[in-house]
Amino acid sequence: MSAVEPGDCDSYEVVVLGAGYAGMMATLRLARGNPPLRIALISAQEQFVERVRLQESIIAAVPPRIPSISAFLAGTPIEFIRARVTSLDPMQRRVGIATDTRKREIGFDQLVYALGSTIDVEAVPGVAEHAFRLEVGAGARSAAALRLRLRENADRVQRVIIIGGAETGIEAAGEIKTASPNADVVLLSRSRCASARGVGVEEAVRRELEELSVRLVDGEEVIAVRSNEVITESGRVFPYDICVWSGGLRCAAFAADAGLATDGQGRIWVNPNLRSISHPYILACGDAAHPIAPTGAPYRPSAYAALVSGAYAADCIAAARAKRRLRPFSFSTFGQGIAIGRRGVGFFSYPDDRQTAFIVKGAAARKVRNFFVWFVTFTLKLERRWPGFFFWPGRARVSWQQATSAVQGKLSERKPWTA
């Protein structure tokens, strides 16, 4: 690979790092500028990854709904650059990127940081070496490798332990039990499985898992993953043939290494307009952002939060261009569906991400969930055709007085970030 040559730097008005839900939404929405902005979207993947469908790939490969980003963006003012991000220099406003044959730098006036997150394999010894993760690609511990492992040993009873009692772990348990009915599946949780969305949802999810004969173990903190057993803080030992890890997320180190204010997971601390508190010409959205101010509904990793934050980041850039001031970022949620094998649990969560009204269960819940997963990608296609189309409820939930008070309170504390 060649070194970066002097002067080998293209410059753009906006550079977007990452083509996931947040980055793609921000990029498409920015295309409505008149005159159009010069925009570059940088991603290491040519194919758009529907992260919320990765657990489905445990059973079979999932056909992409957007197979080619470059084809999807053809005819727009957006330049797609397939490359790996290697560095970020916020002072010079440059991003280092690399392809298989070339290293170069990209200059920017404003940057949208949407590199998302990956499963944290460093927090517990042995996870990186021994645990499968729901990740893309054909790596030795990817979802594709897990699918192959399950098929190779389908004729015998396999002891499968899944670590993490939130939605990803729950859905993985359901898919594995469906793919391998004879498997002995244990779902191990630090607190209590499915407890985050309220008692009604917790009971419904646990009932579905128990009907699949998934064994639930609550209140166990994993401290080590060995080649054939998991060790917990209480001293319990869980032997396994297959270990699947869904116990936490971490962002890429580029932001922290570049000196941006970040939290302990590498997320960028952002103000009420999703701008970095240390470098305001850098905006963060999706999993890569950690808002200081209230956001209406709780801000957590999800496809929906990625869409709304990506759309807001684009609107913020457009508003600054027009010398307008936006209200602080906020949103409300609609609902959520959790797939559990061929069945599921669905529920309304308006406006604050907690279960309200009735709960849908069984095969109907799985169909409703699948519809909304499809609709997330369809929303991007609509935004591609009509930039600015996407609208979300709860955009006026937080006032500037509330946001400013929260920011001042946080800044008055001993700084909970690195810079």
CA distance 187 to 189: 7
What's the angle, vertex CA 152, arms to CA 241 and CA 370, rounded to 5? 90
Class of the CATH domain delimited by 121-247: alpha beta
| pLDDT for position 137 | 81
Concatenated DSSP letters for 50-117?
-GGGGGGGGTS----SS--HHHHHTTSSEEEEE-EEEEEETTTTEEEEE-SS-EEEEEEEEEEE---E
- Local confidence pLDDT in tens for the 419 residues of the chain: 333 344 457 999 999 999 999 999 999 999 998 888 999 999 999 999 999 999 999 988 899 999 999 999 999 999 999 999 999 999 999 999 999 889 999 999 999 999 999 999 999 999 999 999 998 888 899 999 999 999 998 888 999 999 999 999 999 999 999 888 999 999 999 999 999 888 999 999 999 999 999 999 999 999 999 999 999 999 999 999 999 999 889 999 999 999 999 999 999 999 999 999 999 999 999 999 999 999 999 999 999 999 999 999 999 999 999 999 999 999 999 999 999 999 999 999 999 999 998 999 999 999 999 999 999 999 999 999 999 999 999 999 999 999 999 999 887 775 555 44
Domain limits of the chain? 9-118+250-329, 121-247
- Our measurement of the distance from residue 128's CA atom to the centroid of its chain's CA atoms, rounded to an integer in Å, reads 19
CATH 3.30.70.1140 matches 9-118+250-329: no
Q: Beta strand 289-291 with 268-270: parallel, antiparallel or unpaired?
A: parallel
What is the value of pTM for the model shown?
0.94
Q: In the prediction, which pLDDT does 7 show?
A: 46
CB 45 within 8 A of CB 96: no
Contacts of 376 (CB under 8 A, 6+ apart): 21, 50, 52, 303, 304, 307
* Rounded distance between C-alpha atoms, residue 244 and residue 143, angstroms: 9
> N- to C-terminal Cα distance for the chain?
31
Q: What is the pLDDT of residue 336?
A: 94
Distance (Å) of CA 284 to CA 114, 314, 325, 356? 6, 11, 18, 30
Answer for the pair 91, 278: CB distance below 8 angstroms, yes or no: no
Q: How many C-beta neighbours within 10 Å does residue 7 have? A: 6
Q: Is the peptide bond before 181 cis (omega within 30 degrees of 0)?
A: no
Q: Is 150 helix (H, G, I), strand (E, B) or coil?
A: helix
Per-residue pLDDT at 419: 45
Query: Would the CATH topology of 9-118+250-329 be identical to that of 121-247?
Result: yes
Q: What is the pLDDT of residue 3?
A: 38
State residue 414's pLDDT score. 54
Mean pLDDT taken over the chain: 93
Helix (H) or strand (E) holding 21: helix 21-30
**Contact assessment for residue 27 and residue 16, using Cβ atoms and an 8 Å cutoff:** yes
